[in-house]
Amino acid sequence: MITYQKERLQDIWDELMDNAKSHWNETEGYRHDQVFNPDKERFFQYADMGLYHSYTARDSEKDDLLVGNITMYVTPSMHTQLLVAAEDTMFIRKEYRGKRIYYKLFKMVEEEMWDMGVYEINLSTKVVNDAGGLIERMGYTHVANQYSKSADSALTVKEAS
């Protein structure tokens, strides 16, 4: 049975990092020239300030194995002063995908965000996965495309000109 809950970041850090490494390897290929090096103390500081929230899905039949997680930043918008939530990561282990775990976990996260007084939730999805369709079916609107350029690629472009 899968259980869904909000958990204190400091209590789940090591487990969360196992999922974060898998997420990095699977979805962050465009950044693999960078070292995966999360700032544990800064994450803890943000969590203690109420700016970073961790939600988990666990398999109670497998010693509460962390099978999925969603982490969210929550801050007042600099433009409207309304409370805005933005996902940091959304990840479900491959062997648990297709079982509506992401949907159930995110519906719980949404309720928590609305209860906190969040006015707007912003999500992103990488081009290497197909989460966009599910996100749109959950009522989200595609409002932007994101692009990335690293310092290394900027130097390559400059040298070629």
pLDDT above 90: residue 8: yes
Confirm whether 35 is domain-assigned.
yes
Predicted model pTM: 0.86
CA dihedral 10, 98, 114, 21 (to 10 degrees): 30
Per the structure, how many domains does the chain have? 1
Residue 126, in any domain of the structure: yes
Task: Average the pLDDT over 93-112 and give the result.
Answer: 94
Give the structural domain span for 114: 2-154
- Residue 159 has a pLDDT of 59
Q: Is the pLDDT of residue 127 over 70?
A: no
Determine the pLDDT at residue 31: 66
In this structure, is residue 160 part of a structural domain? Answer: no
Do β-strands 65-76 and 52-59 pair in parallel, antiparallel, or remain unpaired? antiparallel
pLDDT of residue 33: 77
Q: Is 159 domain-assigned? A: no
Least confident of 50-54, 66-70, 129-133, 152-156: 152-156
For residue 75, give the CATH number of its domain: 3.40.630.30
| Number of continuous H segments (helices) and E segments (strands) in the chain | 5, 5
Phi and psi at residue 158, to the nearest 5°: -65, -45
Decide if 86 is inside a domain: yes
Which carries the bigger pLDDT value, residue 161 or residue 26? Answer: 26
